[in-house]
Structures are given as structure tokens and as C-alpha cells.
Amino acid sequence: MCWQLFLSSDKELSHVEWEEASPAFNTQPLSDTEERVRIQFSLPHVIYLGSHDGCSCGFFGEDNDEPEDKNQRNEDTKRLSKYLHESLEIGANLEMFLCWQGGEIEPQVTRKQLTPKDFLTTEFPLKENEFATIVSTAN
């Protein structure tokens, strides 16, 4: 089973293509089974955020990961942070939800506020079934 990271916005956001030959951070439209995650959000445009793994699992790591895996994870989270920052710069409102595959309609356990910089830490700032509003600066 895989992690699924979703982002919603009041604006249509830029698409970051998945490249098989050079896997990295990417954005995807929702699949038919993912459509039900929309109930988590108040904003109309919802996308799936993927990593170098193709799913959202690559944003997460273990202490015993190989250096190459850590480097790829760091690159994915840097690109995610940049994507969030650029989206906020164009005036988008952003919401994010993290769940396991199949948990799209599970209740939110926590609501928090995050900034793009929060994604540059060694530990991913969201946990299972957590919802976040993404803002430019923390209040």
C-alpha cells in the first residue's frame, strides 16, 4: 500500500510531468478511485502529488535508507516546497491531505498550518490523515 498526498487549490495549478527516464516530483490529475478525496477539501482543484517512486511514498524515508534514496527524497521535498511556494506566489490558496491508499474518505485527525519551508526538514510535516492549509509564512 502507498502513501497518497493530495493538494487542492482555488486556482488551476501547473502540471509537473512524470518522466519514466528521470523520475522525480510530479503532479497528476486524480484517478477515478481518488476522486472521492474531494470531500476533504473546500477548494475545487485537487491533484495528486507524486515523488520519484511514482507514488507519494518517496517523500518519506527511513533512518536506514541508502544515501541515494535519501538524496532522491531530499530532491523530491525541495521540488515540492518550490512548487508550493510558486503556487502561493500566484495567489493560490492551498490545502493538503495525506492518507494511505484507500483512505481518501477517512476522517481528518489533525488540522494544521504549514509553510513551504516546513517541507525542507528531515521529517515530513504531515502524518496519516492530517490536513494542512499551506501559507506563505506561519502565524
The string of pLDDT tens digits covering residues 113-139 is 999 999 999 899 999 999 999 999 866
Identify whether 129 is part of a domain: yes
CA distance 52 to 111: 27
Identify whether 139 is part of a domain: no
pLDDT tens digits for range 14-60: 999 999 999 999 999 999 999 999 999 999 999 999 999 999 999 99
Band (pLDDT 50/70/90 cuts) for residue 63 is low
Identify whether 38 is part of a domain: yes
What pLDDT is recorded for position 68? 82
Identify whether 77 is part of a domain: yes
Identify whether 50 is part of a domain: yes
Residue 120 belongs to domain spanning? 3-134
Those residues with Cβ within 8 angstroms of residue 35's Cβ, 6 or more apart along the chain or in another chain: none
What pLDDT is recorded for position 70? 85
CA distance 14 to 109: 29
Identify whether 39 is part of a domain: yes
**Number of domains comprising the chain:** 1
Those residues with Cβ within 8 angstroms of residue 28's Cβ, 6 or more apart along the chain or in another chain: 18, 47, 48, 50
User: Is the confidence at residue 65, as pLDDT, over 90?
Assistant: no
Identify whether 35 is part of a domain: yes
